Amino acid sequence: MARKVVNRKELRAQADAAEAAAKSKKEKPAKDKPAKEKKAKAEKAPKPAAKKPSRKKVVKDVRMKAYWGVFNQTMKRLAMFEYADKRAAQKKAAELGGNHFVQLVKEAIVEA
């Protein structure tokens, strides 16, 4: 089945004609109003509402501490060492076998 060819120029001309008709309808009522009413409306323009000051959320600083963690291939932490004891963490990973590795872990310090 063949499709009907759409003539875009004709559609554009129809759209332009519709816009022109709408503009002419809008302009006619504006001319009928007296000049006094126009001035009164211009003078009574509403003032913009005052903006409320926005509150900024206070971000609580969370202190972090670094550790070395020994993990297996399923990312299960098997051991944890202080940051200064990286050699001990690597030694532990070597003892456990080839599938274990050392990775840096950061945890929040809880202050009581």
What value does the mean pLDDT take over residues 77-97?
95
Cβ partners under 8 Å of residue 101, min gap 6: 70, 71, 93
Residue 93 inside a domain? The answer is yes
Residue 77 inside a domain? The answer is yes
Residue 42 inside a domain? The answer is no
Query: At 35, is the pLDDT very low, low, confident or very high (cuts 50, 70, 90)?
Result: low
Domain hosting 87: range is 64-108
Residue 97 inside a domain? The answer is yes
Residue 30 inside a domain? The answer is no
Residue 90 inside a domain? The answer is yes
What value does the mean pLDDT take over residues 8-22?
90
Question: Are the CB atoms for 39 and 52 separated by under 8 Å?
Answer: no
- Model pTM score: 0.46
Residue 89 inside a domain? The answer is yes
Phi then psi for residue 100, to 5 deg, are -105, 145
Strand order in the sheet with 64-71: 77-82, 64-71, 101-108
What value does the mean pLDDT take over residues 63-75?
95
Residue 34 inside a domain? The answer is no
Q: Return the number of other C-beta atoms located less than 10 Å from residue 70's C-beta.
A: 24
How many structural domains comprise the chain?
A: 1
Question: Are the CB atoms for 82 and 70 separated by under 8 Å?
Answer: no
